[in-house]
Structure 1
Amino acid sequence: MATGAATGNQTAAQALLVEMLDPAVRADPYPVFTRIRELGPMVLPETGMVVFSGFADCDEVLRHPSSCSDGMKSSVVQRQIAEGITPQRTATPGFLFLDPPDHTRLRTLAQQAFSPKAVRALEPEIRALVGELLDAVAARGTGEQTPGAPFDVVSDLAYPLPVAVICRLLGVPLSDEPQFSRAAALLAQGLDPIMTLTGQASANADERLRADEWMRDYLGHLVAKRRAEPREDMISALIAAEEDGDQLTVDEIIATCDLLLIAGHETTVNLIANAVLAMMRAPAQWAALAGDPDRANVIIEETLRYDPPVQLVMRIAGDEMVIGDLCIAKGDSILLLIAAANRDPDAFDRPDVFDPDREGLRHLSFSKGPHFCLGAPLARLEARIALTELARRFPHARLAAEPVYKPNVTLRGLASLRLG
């Protein structure tokens, strides 16, 4: 277990971490994150876990060569397996939850679809799609400058855009989107550390298991179709790679596509909606973007710091690690509160202020090291086009209702954001 100068008592730490899971704080978890960060690094011996919430510590863990993503390396999991409590993993995980060399092999193959050249080639299609979506919004109103009735940024733009893009990349028929969107939403909730922090399974654990089985079965059938009739899509490319000797199994193809379907749209939805909400609460920023589309880049980077789509991540110490004053034992779990780190006053001036013009824009929201977000260039492109076009067409838009949040803790985001 970790040793060293961990601050804060364990009872207070555990209580704050459980409070972080409370749906009542989902609309604004940042006061809780502040209190957690003020306690400093937390050592929780009973769960074999260390929690970091400061920017420097989180940055160091993400970059550390012994920082692993495979949860099977956890000492707690290994002990449970030895005692017959937890069965070994039966489903092949996506590369997000693997370490080299498996992670390297799978990521290298998937990365072909997210290369700079491949992303640039998608720009005309993304622009056309954004135009169609906003045309539909404008058609419901009295003109393009002011919608005639409230519209929902999430359901009218932020959600359908990345879903259509990732479907096109993978070769998933868009007509099937309603079927897998519900499954993907449930699986995204599975990233929340409820069991880790409370010792109790989440209320919908069985439902998530069924969703996972359905998703893998659906993708398995799609892989079989692409094997028989290849197309210009990522599933066909992964199959071809397998046949060329990269030894990519059917389960690995399914797991990779499963991961990209969830991560490829859930986080981008959050990024677009969070950026709009931040500007609605700072109207001068919305007006500035409407007048200068080039501001979109700094708005996106500040949103990633100020209100990140991924609020926390988990790592495992693959070997003994020293982070700050803490010595972390091999096999310990490491919970990184990215949303807290991104508002660390030791790293940022006025951290709780949304300021796209701040000097030295930086954040940890796309991770660091070998797990740096594969889809970061695509997410930035989608968000840039969506935000600039939305502000250009509706420069006088304002909040029409209080935002509504999804229950997710890790992939925290809006379920509804109505403007008028």
Structure 2
Amino acid sequence: MHPFDPVDPHFLADPYPAFAALRALGPVHAHALLGTPVAVSHGACSELLRGRDLGRIWADAEPAADFPAFNLLHRNSLLEREGPAHDRLRVLVAGAFNRGHTARLEPWVRGLAGRLVDELAERIDADGSADLMSTVAARLPVEVIAELLGVPEPERSALRGWSNAIVTMYEPDPGEHRRRAAEQAAADFVDALRGLVAHRRAHPGDDLVTDLVEADVEADELVGTAALLLMAGHEATVNVIGNGVLALLRHPVQWQRLVGDPGLDATAVEELIRYDPPLQLFERTAVVDTTVAGHPVPAGTKIAALLGAAARDPRAFDRPDELDVGRRRNPHLGFGAGVHYCLGAPLARLEVAAALDALRTRLPGMALAAEPSRRPDFVMRGLRELRLAV
């Protein structure tokens, strides 16, 4: 009997005691419900993410004829490649990122965060409470990704829905309705990005798509890269902001520390990513017979890192179940590790810091107005609604 069921609402509300129970039994376990071994210690998860005997080996969603767009996006994604194919594409994407897009966008991101939090505060003044998720957390990252890529309207407004639909396919059992919705969203995204790529070939702009076009990234690879930035950059940041603000409100001393000392922003961002990670599970596949923390992993076998379990490992973190916005030693794995370390990490950090700064400035006395509503998902851990009052 395993300590957790990935669709159990009680587990989803607070998975960390179950993770602690698993860690106490050992660093790696078979898990029948997930259908794969799981690494639960920080050391085992780090070994899994960094090991060159383990890779991302994409297998098309089946039946493949029903998922042409979803499979195209992932087959051409940087995240789903290994070896020379991965290295070539990563160099091109990293080169585009290193042209200074994060620095270019910083004033715009901070201004946008301020305007969204102003709107949140106005709604609280008018109605007594307002939802952080729909007003700020879900809007900020998608606007930033759209600006980074140079996506115009009306596609810009559709990005959030496409991302939300596509990522449900990563859950253990999304169901047929969500599978069909994910494929339709992927098809719409592919069409929109192909149109944008064609436009940027003729009309270059100051955006990442233009940089990738000029770097001669192949068209489907460019669409796959854009999809990865949308899904990883948008979904993770939405959930860091939601999970993080909830954690701060449940630890008011830590929120008041942050209100009183803006110099804690950098460590606070890392701590919020660690304390309640937005991505709870990341799979890799053994390319040869290997082991993870002594657990045999035959070639072709998937094994998953439970990042939430790694984030609370007392062998890696002092007082791991405590929130500490000033935490200095924080080797969390929220942005991955090794060859697949997140290229968008600096931009994600900026977005979370901008949201925290705007909340500190405009709503230093914010408080929970109601019990938050959680999404019924395990892999992408986040909230549906987080109503705030003052």
- TM-score, scaled to structure 1: 0.83
In structure 2, the residue matched to 1:212 is 186
Q: Does the Cα contact within 8 Å between 1:52 and 1:336 map onto a contact in 2?
A: yes
Distance apart, 1:180 and its partner CA:
2.7
Q: Does the Cα contact within 8 Å between 1:291 and 1:392 map onto a contact in 2?
A: no
Distance apart, 1:344 and its partner CA:
1.7
In structure 1, the residue matched to 2:227 is 258
Distance apart, 1:94 and its partner CA:
1.1
Which secondary structure state, in structure 2, belongs to the residue aligned with residue 322 of structure 1? strand
Counting only pairs closer than 5 Å after superposition, residues 185-264 of structure 1 correspond to structure 2 as 185-194=164-173, 203-242=177-216, 248-264=217-233
Distance apart, 1:397 and its partner CA:
0.8
Q: Distance in 2 between matches of 1:214 and 1:37?
A: 42
In structure 2, the residue matched to 1:6 is none
Distance apart, 1:44 and its partner CA:
5.7
In structure 2, the residue matched to 1:274 is 243
Equivalent residue letter for 1:38: A
Distance 1:23 1:221, change over 3 A: farther
In structure 1, the residue matched to 2:19 is 33
Which secondary structure state, in structure 2, belongs to the residue aligned with residue 264 of structure 1? helix
Q: What is the aligned length? A: 383
Q: Does the Cα contact within 8 Å between 1:318 and 1:330 map onto a contact in 2?
A: yes
Distance 1:172 1:46, change over 3 A: closer
Q: Distance in 1 between matches of 2:376 and 2:198?
A: 34
Q: Deviation digits for residues 120-166 of structure 1, max 9, x if unmatched?
A: 22111112112222232334455xxxx87212222222222111111
Equivalent residue letter for 1:160: R
Distance apart, 1:23 and its partner CA:
4.2
Q: Does residue 156 in structure 1 map to residue 135 in structure 2?
A: yes
Q: Does residue 346 in structure 1 map to residue 319 in structure 2?
A: no
Q: Does residue 168 in structure 1 map to residue 147 in structure 2?
A: yes
Distance 1:359 1:256, change over 3 A: closer
Q: Paired residue for 1:182, among 161, 167, 178?
A: 161
Distance 1:46 1:364, change over 3 A: closer
Q: Does the Cα contact within 8 Å between 1:153 and 1:418 map onto a contact in 2?
A: yes
Q: Distance in 2 between matches of 1:47 and 1:212?
A: 25
Counting only pairs closer than 5 Å after superposition, residues 119-138 of structure 1 correspond to structure 2 as 119-138=102-121
Distance 1:28 1:203, change over 3 A: farther
Q: Does the Cα contact within 8 Å between 1:52 and 1:58 map onto a contact in 2?
A: yes
Counting only pairs closer than 5 Å after superposition, residues 305-384 of structure 1 correspond to structure 2 as 305-384=274-353
Equivalent residue letter for 2:191: D
Q: Paired residue for 2:49, among 42, 47, 62?
A: 62
Distance apart, 1:43 and its partner CA:
3.0
Runs of 5+ consecutive residues of structure 1 not aligned to the other structure: 1-11, 196-200, 243-247
Q: Distance in 2 between matches of 1:252 and 1:265?
A: 19
Q: Deviation digits for residues 259-298 of structure 1, max 9, x if unmatched?
A: 1111121111111222211110011111111111111112
Higher mean alpha-carbon deviation, 404-413 vs 280-289, is at 404-413
Distance 1:47 1:167, change over 3 A: closer
Distance apart, 1:363 and its partner CA:
0.8
Higher mean alpha-carbon deviation, 40-49 vs 339-348, is at 40-49
Equivalent residue letter for 1:258: A
Structure having the higher Rg: 1
In structure 1, the residue matched to 2:255 is 286
Distance 1:127 1:60, change over 3 A: same
Q: Does the Cα contact within 8 Å between 2:29 and 2:38 map onto a contact in 1?
A: yes
Q: Distance in 2 between matches of 1:101 and 1:167?
A: 29
Distance 1:28 1:174, change over 3 A: farther
Which secondary structure state, in structure 2, belongs to the residue aligned with residue 314 of structure 1? strand
Distance 1:164 1:358, change over 3 A: closer
Q: Distance in 2 between matches of 1:210 and 1:398?
A: 39
Q: Does the Cα contact within 8 Å between 1:301 and 1:362 map onto a contact in 2?
A: no
Q: Distance in 1 between matches of 2:265 and 2:154?
A: 31
Distance apart, 1:185 and its partner CA:
0.1
Q: Distance in 2 between matches of 1:352 and 1:179?
A: 38
Q: Deviation digits for residues 157-190 of structure 1, max 9, x if unmatched?
A: 2222111111011011154333232121011111
Q: Distance in 1 between matches of 2:386 and 2:33?
A: 40
Q: Does residue 50 in structure 1 map to residue 37 in structure 2?
A: yes
Distance apart, 1:399 and its partner CA:
0.5
In structure 2, the residue matched to 1:22 is 8
Distance apart, 1:47 and its partner CA:
8.6
Cα RMSD of the aligned pairs, angstroms, is: 2.8
Which secondary structure state, in structure 2, belongs to the residue aligned with residue 57 of structure 1? helix
Distance apart, 1:369 and its partner CA:
0.3
Distance apart, 1:253 and its partner CA:
1.2
Q: Does the Cα contact within 8 Å between 1:164 and 1:174 map onto a contact in 2?
A: no
Runs of 5+ consecutive residues of structure 2 not aligned to the other structure: none
Q: Distance in 2 between matches of 1:151 and 1:319?
A: 52
